[in-house]
Amino acid sequence: MTSDAIRLDGKVAIITGGAGGIGAATARLMSARGASVAVADIAFDRAHALAAQLPEALAIALNLEDEASIAAMVAQTLDHFGRVDVLHNNAALLGPDIAQNDGDIEHMDTALWDRTYAVNVRGTMVACRAALPHLRASGGNIVNTVSNLALQGHMIQAAYSSSKAAIIQMTRAIAASHGPSGVRCNAVAPGMTATPALLAAFPAPLRQAVEDETLRDRLGEADDIAEAVAFLASPAARNITGQVLVSDGGCSSHVPGIARFRAFFSGEQA
């Protein structure tokens, strides 16, 4: 039986990047737990198709590089539902072309770096800024999607990982600034998650390398991350703010190279 504390009955949630992957899984889960959801995405047709499947949902076209588009997202949600209780900042600049070019700093393209920060960091900031007065009025909260790469060094995705680290600090700043007025702000840090975008961006050998370092038998899936987001958005997490909940199958919890140690002690190698 679902605990009343994790229910979202009567709540209104805005989910950016809500048309696919983690965003879509979160929209479905929050809807199943009683929330009305605004599915905001640059892919409006997909957002509309998902919203049509949910009992109380609104599709919104969103461009995180455009401040007016972000303001309109909040305004449309208020016009349609009358309130905002949750802002889930999930959208980010992703895709195979981005991932292939987001490498180390020495070879970083300035335009890619600037656009990554414009979408991931500035877009998240503007969304928070637009929503905060309404979240204060409702006693609502913010959940930001970051990444376990924001907590660790890697040889790839310098722009993406550092932008997500900036959002972690933004999460703490909002929690500190707005906690006394009743607004919580937390982040969820997924590891490599088997979404369609991820599967398209990373070849199987790289996915397997990460899977070998998990403490489970598979990569995480979008539904796994949605559960973490919905928990933090719910009254069950009422005493949690300014925190980063890592949901990466244990990848960031152990010493490097555990997969090789596991193989050694199981007799799989000499």
Q: Which of 81, 160, 202, 231 is catalytic?
A: 160
Whole-model pTM: value is 0.92
User: Domain extents for the chain?
Assistant: 4-265
Mean pLDDT of 188-195: 87
Which tens digit of pLDDT belongs to each residue from 1-54? 456 999 999 999 999 999 999 999 999 999 999 999 999 999 999 999 999 999
Rounded distance, CA 104 to CA 123, Å? 23
Alpha carbon 253 to its chain centroid, in Å, reads: 20
Q: What is the pLDDT of residue 1?
A: 40
Q: Which amino acid is at 125?
A: M
Q: Which of 137, 247, 138 is nearest to 186 (CA)?
A: 247
Rounded distance, CA 135 to CA 84, Å? 6
Q: Please enumerate, as own/partner, the contacts of 254-261 that have beta carbons within 8 Å and a separation of 24 or more.
A: 254/213, 254/215, 258/213, 259/212, 259/213
Which tens digit of pLDDT belongs to each residue from 143-171? 999 999 999 988 889 999 999 999 999 99
The secondary element (H helix, E strand) that includes residue 25 is: helix 21-32
- Range with lowest mean pLDDT among 100-104, 128-132, 161-165, 206-210: 206-210
CATH node for 4-265: 3.40.50.720
Structural contact between residues 214 and 191, judged by C-beta atoms closer than 8 angstroms:
yes
Rounded distance, CA 156 to CA 103, Å? 4
Q: Which of 244, 230, 237 is nearest to 174 (CA)?
A: 244
Q: Which amino acid is at 161?
A: S
Q: Does residue 205 have a pLDDT over 70?
A: yes
160 is catalytic: yes
